[in-house]
Structure 1
Amino acid sequence: MVCCVCVLLLICWPQVCHGQQVCDSPLRLQLLKAPPTRGWVKSRDLNRQSLSSWQWTKTVVKNRIPEVIYEAVCDSAYCDYPHGDWDTHESLNAVPVHQVMLVLHAERGQPRSYTAQYRRVAVGCTCMWAKMA
């Protein structure tokens, strides 16, 4: 990942030509239009089947790659215990799981220049034992 960022920065590093900033290096990204179908059908409702279920929220930002990012929001502060033991239920907290992803933001006035930034995204929820004082 670090290697990819370094290559991206070297390719799109602002060049100076006669006192003006120029970014004319091509950047090609392969963006998938749809998720892969193999194995996808079985796991697509993972957010509903989990003991710490979550909903997806959609964020759209123009001039960003990717333009659409989905984030997980836990349905409850607690996990659903399948056997109905409510004492255990309150000691298991539902917490979001985060992943850091690289996003590109288009620079204003520079049609082919991008700034790379890391963004922390919630990708699901999981159960954790509550801390006891």
Structure 2
Amino acid sequence: MFFKNKAFRCLLFSCVVLLVLLTAEARKKKKQCGKPKKNLLKNAVMLIVDSPVNGFSRNSTNSLHGDVLERAVAPWKWRRNHDVTRIPATIFEAECSTTYCTIIKGQQDMNYNTKVIKQEMMVLQLDLQLSKPGCKSVYRLVRMTFAVGCFCVHARVI
């Protein structure tokens, strides 16, 4: 009954052709990507990353720490560090606002210098050599150092 209907036969034929094309494309992609190297799979883990992964905005940073970055004796500003091949792609880093520390009266004291506080952080970095276009991306867990604030030190006297 259904097969006698010309529109149904046309639709059925289109679906079969589409299925054959999709299967052929999947096989082609599988051959193109190839099998991962055995030593790569030895330490591989599956990682599921929920959105958003791009860190946080400058406004949320200020709300997390209040205005401490402006009230500190070694004040700093946030600088955006963006890398599309990294997860998280955006990380805000501290940049000292002044060379010398600010004393209570708001004046800079040349006896004290500002220095950046650095912190190591683990990030996922896209491995461009192992990631092929159209295939699954390969990320490596790497340790990177980022500036997280500023502090005062005695100035060096030479």
TM-score (norm 1): 0.67
Q: In the alignment, what sits opposite 1:11?
A: none
Q: How many residues matched?
A: 111
Unaligned runs of 5+ in 2: 1-35
Secondary structure of 1:48's aligned partner: helix
Letter in 2 for 1:78: Y
Give the structure with the higher percent strand: 1
Q: In the alignment, what sits opposite 1:98?
A: 118
1:61 paired to 2:61: no
Unaligned runs of 5+ in 1: 1-13
Residue 28 of structure 1 is aligned with which of 22, 42, 48?
48
Secondary structure of 1:51's aligned partner: coil
Shift of 1:103: 1.1
Secondary structure of 1:91's aligned partner: strand
Letter in 1 for 2:117: V
Percentage of matched positions with identical amino acids: 24
TM-score (norm 2): 0.58
Q: In the alignment, what sits opposite 1:79?
A: 101
Considering Cα pairs closer than 8 Å and 6+ residues apart, tell me whether 1 or 2 has the greater RCO.
1
After superposition, residues 87-126 of structure 1 pair within 5 angstroms as 89-107=109-127, 108-109=131-132, 111-126=136-151
* Aligned-partner Cα distance in 1 for 2:93–2:115: 13
